[in-house]
Amino acid sequence: MSERIIAACDGAAKKNPGPAGWGWVVADAGGRPERWEAGPLGTATNNIAELTALAELLESTDPATPLEIRMDSQYAMNAVTKWLAGWKRNGWLTASKKPVANRELVIRIDELLTGRDVEFRYVPAHQVDGDPLNAIADAAASDAASEQQAFGTAHGTAEIPGPRHDAMTGGGTGGTATRRKAPPKKAGARKAGSGVIKAKFAGRCSCGRSYAAGEQIAKGASSWGHPECRES
């Protein structure tokens, strides 16, 4: 049996919907990044970007080789590992009898998964000591969304996007990853008395939607996110 491939994929949307992109990275069995790719989607939702990233990764890997996929999107992972079978039985309707969102992408992924040995692993996003491959995929997708261009090994891009090596300490893959064209970090400015600040970094709200650096966010019960999603 072929040695298992380790990979990660992610999508990004600058607003939801907004300029979107997808990204993936493939590593060797030891977790060292070998190749990556990212592409633009024009205006799309974060969920579409996440599903597209998964589809693009599956299309770019050998179906005969076992694959481990690391993702921070519970929506995309659950869609193809938990909800898909029920959607099929219900004629592509949800439990509430509504049409399944992004059906064409889900069908495409289902076809790409057929007959393959694929293991999905959820990894939390934007963690200081989080999964380095997920950080690379996240950075690649974010760059593609911002610049609306395709990047990656196949396009002659040598640098691997992602956090600096010192930010990856404890991540477990080794090697050095540097983020391409990273904008300077700006200190957040708090609105007096409102509890709302400008995000220093891009992130994801508890509602599942992402927010971009510079957007207004507020502290909820357990994490930062959109002010309108803050729990009272």
User: Is 10 a residue of the active site?
Assistant: yes
Catalytic residue among 72, 143, 152, 225: 72
Catalytic residue among 18, 110, 117, 126: 126
User: Is 110 a residue of the active site?
Assistant: no
Catalytic residue among 11, 21, 152, 162: 11
User: Is 226 a residue of the active site?
Assistant: no
Say which amino acid occupies 74.
Q
For 132, the enclosing helix (H) or strand (E) is helix 132-147
Chain length of the chain: 232
The C-alpha atoms of residue 88 and residue 69 are separated, in whole angstroms, by 23
Contacts of 216 (CB under 8 A, 6+ apart): 196, 197, 198, 199, 227
The C-alpha atoms of residue 182 and residue 213 are separated, in whole angstroms, by 12
User: Is 126 a residue of the active site?
Assistant: yes
162 neighbors 177 (Cβ within 8 angstroms): yes
List 103's β-bridge partners, or say none: none
Catalytic residue among 37, 50, 56, 143: 50
Catalytic residue among 130, 138, 143, 152: 138
Annotated catalytic sites, by residue?
10-11, 50, 72, 126, 138
